[in-house]
């Protein structure tokens, strides 16, 4: 099997860093939810807090790498401008090498760009900030999270919001790549 550079970077972006973040969410949210003194011993809380600290830090790094790779490596290929000789008003085989312009050339596919890619370009950048806030909160509060229900629920809320935003961005990325691959 052979992968082009573009396919490899798209894979690293979505199925590498992005999928790692999405998969690790389940462990992180379960860890935060179960971090309660009536469910876990003092030793268990210390062990879980240590795992939560490392896990939340790794997840924040993964989501930062996802948006950085997407924005600065993959996205320029999506936005590449076709030569003047190529008609950008009609979808064609020549225009297919320029995904943004290919999508915009038809009313049937223009919404992939207008809504889906705009979401990925702007809203998806909120995800790493939220994930970082969760990691900072886990480091700052540590074992206090087992007794401070409000802090634990706030972190869980931020974590769920981060997950939801990244999940929607991933879905749009898959749909856009299906409609107009960056190959």
- The per-residue pLDDT for 27 is 86
Choose the most confident range, by mean pLDDT, from 43-52, 86-95, 109-118, 146-155.
146-155
Average pLDDT on 26-37 reads: 87
- The per-residue pLDDT for 6 is 85
Examine the pLDDT at 183 and tell me if it is beyond 80: no
pTM flag (> 0.85): yes
- The per-residue pLDDT for 73 is 93
Per-residue DSSP letters for 120-142? HHHGGGHHHHHHHHHHHHHHHHG
Residue 145 carries which DSSP code? G
What Å distances lie between residue 132 and 32, 85, 106, CA to CA? Answer: 15, 46, 39
Q: Are 155 and 136 in contact (CB under 8 A)?
A: no
CB atoms within 10 A of CB 56: 25
Residue 180 or 157, more confident: 157
- The per-residue pLDDT for 122 is 86
Give residue limits of the domains in the chain.
Answer: 5-179
Examine the pLDDT at 152 and tell me if it is beyond 90: yes
Averaged pLDDT of the chain: 90
CA distance 78 to 101: 9
Confidence of residue 132 (pLDDT cuts 50, 70, 90): very high
Confidence of residue 131 (pLDDT cuts 50, 70, 90): very high
Q: Are 15 and 163 in contact (CB under 8 A)?
A: no
Q: Are 105 and 180 in contact (CB under 8 A)?
A: no
Average pLDDT on 3-16 reads: 88
């Amino acid at each position: 099997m052979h992968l082009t550079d573009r396919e490899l970077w798209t894979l690293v972006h979505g199925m590498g860093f992005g999928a790692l973040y999405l998969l690790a969410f389940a462990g992180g949210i379960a860890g935060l939810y179960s971090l309660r003194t009536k469910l876990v011993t003092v030793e268990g809380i210390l062990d879980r807090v240590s795992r939560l600290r490392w896990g939340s830090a790794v997840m924040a790094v993964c989501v930062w790498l996802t948006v950085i790779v997407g924005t600065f490596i993959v996205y320029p290929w999506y936005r590449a401008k076709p030569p003047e000789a190529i008609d950008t008003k009609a979808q064609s085989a020549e225009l297919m090498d320029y995904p943004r312009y290919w999508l915009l050339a038809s009313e049937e596919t223009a919404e992939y760009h207008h809504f889906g890619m705009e979401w990925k370009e702007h809203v998806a950048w909120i995800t790493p900030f939220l994930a970082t806030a969760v990691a900072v909160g886990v480091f700052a509060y540590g074992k206090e999270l087992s007794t401070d229900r409000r802090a634990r629920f706030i972190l869980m809320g931020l974590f769920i919001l981060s997950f939801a935003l990244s999940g929607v961005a991933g879905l749009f990325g898959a749909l856009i790549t299906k409609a107009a691959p960056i190959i």
